[in-house]
Structure 1
Amino acid sequence: MLFVEIVFVGLPIDRDEVEEALEAAFGVDGEVTGAGSGMGRCHLDLEIAAGLDKTSALERLRGVLSELGVTKCATLSISD
């Protein structure tokens, strides 16, 4: 299992839009398991299925963020 915390500072869209886009992009391969906001930032916790290649999973994640135009305000913390 791969865990990714995505922290946003200055997110120009609603966090729910990002969550919905991630869930649509990952389907059964991933799930948003947590979210929060405060102090001018917000975050989403994404769990990615163990069988998925790490490189392709992160490319898929970055693709979603890029399509939404939020790449510059996002920081990823990745752990196994």
Structure 2
Amino acid sequence: MVFVEIVFVGLPIDRDEVEEALEAAFELDGEVSGAGGGMGRCHLDLEIAASSDPTAALERIRAVLSGLGVDDCATLTVSAG
């Protein structure tokens, strides 16, 4: 399993919109497993199936964020589990 924490600072849209877009993009390959916010920041935790190509998964995440216009306020942290 690959875990990706996406931290947003100054997110210009509702976090739920980003969550829904990521859920749609990953369907069976992954899911948003957590979310939170406070102090001007918010985050989403995404679990990606071990069978997925991690590089392709990160490209998919970046494409979703770019499509929503929020890639500039996002930081991704990747870890394997």
Q: Same fold (TM over 0.5)?
A: yes
CA distance in 2, matches of 1:22, 1:6: 11
Q: Report how many aligned residue pairs link the two structures.
A: 80
CA drift at 1:9: 0.2
Comparing both structures, which one devotes a greater share of its residues to helix? 1
User: What displacement does 1:29 show?
Assistant: 0.2
Gaps of 5+ in 2: none
* CA-CA distance at 1:44 after TM superposition: 0.2
Identity fraction in percent = 79
TM superposition shift of 1:42 = 0.2
Stretches of 4+ aligned residues off by more than 4 angstroms: none
Structure 1 stretches of 5 or more lacking a match? none
Give the aligned partner of residue 18 of structure 2.
18
User: So what's the TM-score if we normalise by structure 1?
Assistant: 0.99
Matches within 5 A, 1:8-47: 8-47=8-47
Partner SS, residue 72 of structure 2: helix
The whole-number CA distance in structure 1 between the counterparts of 2:6 and 2:54 is 16
**Cα distance in 2 between the residues matched to 1:44 and 1:57:** 15
